[in-house]
């Protein structure tokens, strides 16, 4: 849908939408903070309030950006305000009549069916506006499957459901739209995104970038390393690739271009670094909280499992930009810029303390919600002690509204994903699909992993990571577990590739966003992103075959795949850039590439052979360098 964005002062309708957005956001946050301290209401009430507010915020957010200057826009505005009213009426009905619903023992009347139908249409509309048509179309296909199950082929057939039962089940129970995924957003994700919003408002985003500038800015290719380290730090709290690109890319991409990186490479580095935001603890985005709930493990188990793969991910990127800088003879930042960064870090370094507290509380087994709220309270307390950086009342309101509006699209996405969850559970589709996938893979784990990788990337192109993860975790992860993959490794495998879709052509939102900032061709930037992130696409295969990399098992089980992955990253980086302490010719690049692929393999003998091949390529290069030093007139 094409919308004319207003350039002129806001109209009355836009001003009303802005005021309503502010009031709804404040009221919703106040409600959830109150229930966090004094005890939650029943799940149906909590989730109804969140979903109703989230849908209103999605509709009103678009209404703020839509000037009533054409018949099309006026019709859209009418639809948005009508949809907001439907959100309030349908989900408010649950809140007001909760006790009657709870006592009805599953019985419902025509009124409930009508309201359920309106609610389903409204949440699908909200998701379409927030993310495009892919997720709503998938949900509609699942609804049609539930209705016409008798018409399906034998292996997929079921008795079929009536629309009244299907709609009411999604509306009046916690088995569909108001299911567990939305509950995780209400219980955990909301508080983390609120904390992240206030961190950004207090200037933490700039502090992370400046800290990375202080750490690596003077190294060769320093601006690119600032992008990597800064995006890793910022991503550890934001959990959004596109938002991360927008936040740090406007600073890092021009710096990379200024010291000599091409626009295409600069955009790709920022896109890959930002995409790691959902892989880097402690926050990692909404999907990991749902993963913890699905696996019935503590959140700390998830972030510890994600830690070493994420570190390897960023180590690869640092090595890529370092080798590229060496190949191009690029410099770092000058001393003036470093001194300026040092002053800024001294002035605002205290903003790092709440993040340390957040991580510490999670590790100490406090609930994620408690950790996020305590860290937020510490952040606001520290901010009050700095008069020249103290947030004004308006800034705090804006941060609160920004936090809640960042929750809204996540909430509507997981609500629609809840439709899929409900259909899978009600119809027995999960078991049927597990059987089909097992037959297709013919009990070959490798073939199943490749199919899963492709499915995750394709779905991730059109879906938010959290929705992509939920669908594949329901359908494919159980097949992987049946073939012997540990549950945590299976879920992390699905999650990884859903995340990497942000940089995978042809639809690569993080790469396209970075390309826009860099002034580079979007498709070329996404291809470059894919090239420099190649080890990340191989990493999940390592922790499926060697789950010790996910902190599962003893120290040896961790160290062996960690060493192999490190060796493989060195080989792949050198092969990708064509440089390692000097130019690397075609033959040595082949040695680096083959050695890296062998080091990624789970067999110990193959690992050793790969390491030897990489070491031999390095040795050949060192031998040539020594000869060149002794006889500088000799050409190679």
Which one, of 128, 96, 136, 135, lies nearest residue 112 by Cα?
Answer: 96
385 or 495, higher pLDDT: 495
Q: What is the pLDDT averaged over residues 8-26?
A: 84
**Is the link from the previous residue into 506 a cis peptide, with omega within 30 of 0?**
yes
H or E stretch covering 290: helix 286-295
- The reported pTM is 0.78
What angle (nearest 5°) sits at the alpha carbon of residue 19, between those of residues 17 and 21?
65
- 65, 18 in Cβ contact below 8 A? no
Q: Which of 127-141, 149-163, 329-343, 561-575 has the lowest mean pLDDT?
A: 329-343
**Is the pLDDT at 262 greater than 50, yes or no?**
yes
Buried b / exposed e across 10-43, counting CB within 10 Å, b at 16+? eeebbeebbebbbebbeebbeebeebbeeeeeeb
From 112-116, 411-415, 423-427, the region with the lowest mean pLDDT: 423-427
Q: Name residue, tokens 């909280």.
A: 289
Given this model, what pLDDT does residue 366 score?
A: 82
Long-range Cβ pairs for the range 317-321 (8 Å, 24+): 317/228, 317/269, 317/272, 317/273, 317/276, 317/532, 317/533, 318/225, 318/228, 318/229, 319/569, 319/570, 319/573, 320/269, 320/532, 320/573, 320/576, 320/577, 321/221, 321/224, 321/225, 321/227, 321/228, 321/269
Neighbouring C-beta atoms of residue 380, cutoff 10 Å: 16
Of the pLDDT bands very low, low, confident and very high (cuts 50, 70, 90), residue 6 is very low
Structure tokens at 312: 């390897």
Q: Cα(118)–Cα(233) distance, rounded to whole angstroms? A: 42
- Looking up tokens 């991910």 gives 313
Residue 624 — very low, low, confident or very high, per pLDDT cuts 50/70/90?
Answer: confident
Cα 375 from Cα 295, distance rounded (Å): 26
State percent of the chain over pLDDT 90: 16
Mean pLDDT in residue range 16-40: 91
Q: How far apart are CA 351 and CA 370, in angstroms?
A: 19
The CB-side HSE value for 165 (13 A sphere, CA atoms) comes to 8
Please report which residue ranges of 366-508 form alpha helices under DSSP H: 368-384, 393-427, 429-441, 445-462, 465-475, 477-482, 487-500
Is residue 3 over pLDDT 60?
no
* Residue 7's pLDDT band (cuts 50, 70, 90): very low
Poorest-confidence range of 9-18, 44-53, 416-425?
Answer: 9-18
Per cent of the chain over pLDDT 70 is: 86
Indicate whether 376 pLDDT > 70.
Answer: yes
Region of poorest pLDDT, from 42-56, 97-111, 421-435, 491-505: 421-435
Residue 183 pLDDT greater than 80, yes or no: yes
Between residues 390 and 168, the one the model is more confident about: 168
- Cα-based distances in Å from 258 to 252, 253, 287, 394, 515: 10, 9, 37, 36, 16
Cβ atoms of residues 576 and 582 within 8 Å: no
Band of pLDDT at residue 548, cut at 50, 70 and 90: confident
Statement: residue 5 has pLDDT above 50: no
For residue 139, give the nearest of 448, 516, 422 by alpha carbon.
422
At 185 the pLDDT is 86
What is the Cα–Cα distance from 83 to 97, expressed in whole angstroms? 21
pLDDT at residue 345 above 70?
Answer: no
When pLDDT is cut at 50, 70 and 90, the band that residue 196 belongs to is confident
Residue 223 has pLDDT above 70, yes or no: no
* Residue 579, phi then psi, degrees to nearest 5: -155, 135
Q: Report the pLDDT value the prediction gives residue 189, as an integer from 0 to 100.
A: 82
In this predicted structure, the answer to whether residue 508 has a pLDDT above a threshold of 60 is: yes
Closest CA to 321 of 444, 222, 205: 222
pLDDT score, position 635: 46
The lowest-confidence range among 344-348, 451-455, 560-564 is 344-348
Predicted pLDDT of residue 252: 74
Lowest-confidence segment of 36-50, 175-189, 480-494, 618-632 by average pLDDT = 618-632
| Average pLDDT of the residues in 301-310 | 87
Q: Does position 2 have pLDDT exceeding 50, yes or no?
A: no
At residue 599's C-alpha, the angle toward residues 593 and 604, to 5°, is 150
Q: Smallest Cα–Cα separation from 273: which of 297, 299, 247?
A: 247
Of the listed ranges 15-29, 239-253, 419-433, 502-516, the least confidently predicted one is 239-253
Can you tell me the mean pLDDT for 421-430?
A: 82
Six-digit token pair at 262?
Answer: 């091409």
Q: Are 269 and 249 in contact (CB under 8 A)?
A: no
Q: What's the rounded mean pLDDT across residues 83-95?
A: 94
pLDDT at residue 79, as a whole number: 92
Q: Determine the pLDDT at residue 217.
A: 62
Supply the pLDDT for residue 404: 92
pLDDT at 636: 44
What's the pLDDT score for residue 50?
Answer: 95
Q: Show the tokens assigned to 610.
A: 């790969």
pLDDT of residue 332: 62
Across the chain, mean pLDDT equals 82
Cβ-Cβ contacts under 8 Å for 392 (sequence gap 6 or more): none
């Amino acid at each position: 849908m094409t919308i004319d964005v207003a350039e002129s002062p806001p109209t009355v309708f836009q001003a009303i939408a802005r005021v309503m957005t502010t009031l709804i956001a404040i009221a919703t946050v106040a409600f959830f903070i109150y229930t966090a301290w004094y005890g939650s209401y029943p799940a149906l009430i909590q989730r109804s309030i969140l979903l109703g507010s989230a849908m209103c915020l999605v509709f009103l957010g678009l209404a703020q950006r839509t000037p009533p200057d054409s018949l099309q826009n006026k019709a859209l505005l009418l639809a948005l305000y009508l949809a907001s009213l439907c959100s309030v009426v349908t989900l408010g009905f649950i809140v007001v009549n909760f006790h009657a619903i709870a006592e009805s023992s599953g019985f419902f009347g025509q009124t409930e069916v009508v309201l359920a139908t309106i609610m389903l249409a409204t949440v699908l509309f909200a998701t379409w506006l927030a993310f495009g048509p892919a997720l709503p179309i998938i949900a509609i296909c699942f609804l049609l499957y539930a209705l016409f199950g008798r018409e399906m082929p034998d292996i997929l057939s079921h008795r079929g459901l009536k629309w009244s039962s299907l709609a009411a089940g999604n509306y009046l129970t916690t088995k569909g739209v108001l299911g567990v995924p939305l509950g995780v957003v209400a219980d955990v994700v909301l508080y983390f995104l609120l904390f992240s919003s206030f961190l950004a408002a207090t200037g933490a985003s700039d502090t992370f970038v400046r800290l990375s500038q202080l750490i690596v800015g003077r190294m060769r290719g320093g601006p690119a390393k600032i992008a990597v380290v800064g995006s890793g730090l910022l991503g550890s709290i934001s959990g959004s690739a596109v938002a991360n690109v927008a936040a740090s890319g406007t600073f890092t991409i021009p710096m990379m271009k200024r010291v000599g990186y091409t626009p295409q490479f600069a955009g790709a580095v920022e896109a890959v670094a930002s995409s790691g935001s959902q892989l880097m603890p402690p926050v990692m985005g909404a999907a990991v909280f749902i993963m913890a709930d699905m696996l019935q493990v503590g959140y700390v188990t998830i972030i510890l499992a994600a830690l070493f793969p994420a570190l390897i991910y960023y180590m690869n990127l640092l090595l890529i930009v370092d080798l590229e800088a060496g190949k191009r003879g690029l410099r770092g930042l000058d001393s003036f810029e470093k001194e300026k960064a040092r002053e800024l870090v001294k002035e605002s370094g205290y903003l790092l303390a709440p993040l340390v507290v957040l991580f510490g509380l999670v590790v100490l087994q406090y609930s994620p919600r408690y950790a996020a709220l305590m860290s937020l309270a510490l952040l606001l307390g520290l901010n009050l002690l700095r008069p020249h950086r103290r947030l004004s009342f308006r800034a705090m309101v804006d941060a609160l509204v920004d936090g809640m509006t960042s929750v809204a699209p996540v909430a509507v996405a997981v609500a629609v994903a809840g439709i899929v969850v409900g259909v899978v559970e009600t119809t027995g589709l999960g078991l049927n699909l597990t059987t089909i996938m097992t037959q297709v893979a013919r009990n070959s784990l490798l073939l199943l992993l490749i199919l899963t990788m492709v499915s995750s990337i394709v779905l991730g192109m059109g879906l938010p990571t959290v929705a992509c993860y939920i669908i594949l975790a329901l359908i494919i992860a159980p097949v992987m577990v049946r073939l012997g993959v540990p549950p945590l490794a299976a879920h992390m495998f699905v999650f990884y590739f859903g995340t990497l879709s942000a940089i995978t052509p042809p639809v690569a939102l993080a790469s396209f966003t970075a390309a826009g900032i860099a002034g580079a061709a979007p498709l070329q930037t996404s291809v470059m992103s894919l090239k420099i992130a190649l080890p990340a696409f191989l990493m999940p295969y390592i922790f499926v075959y060697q789950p010790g990399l996910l902190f599962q098992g003893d120290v040896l089980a961790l160290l062996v795949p960690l060493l192999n992955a490190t060796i493989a990253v060195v080989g792949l980086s050198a092969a990708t850039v064509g440089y390692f302490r000097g130019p690397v010719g075609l033959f040595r690049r082949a040695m680096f590439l083959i050695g890296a692929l062998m080091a990624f393999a789970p067999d110990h003998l193959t690992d050793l052979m790969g390491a030897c091949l990489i070491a031999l390529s390095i040795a050949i290069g060192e031998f040539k360098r020594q000869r060149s030093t002794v006889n500088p007139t000799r050409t190679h």
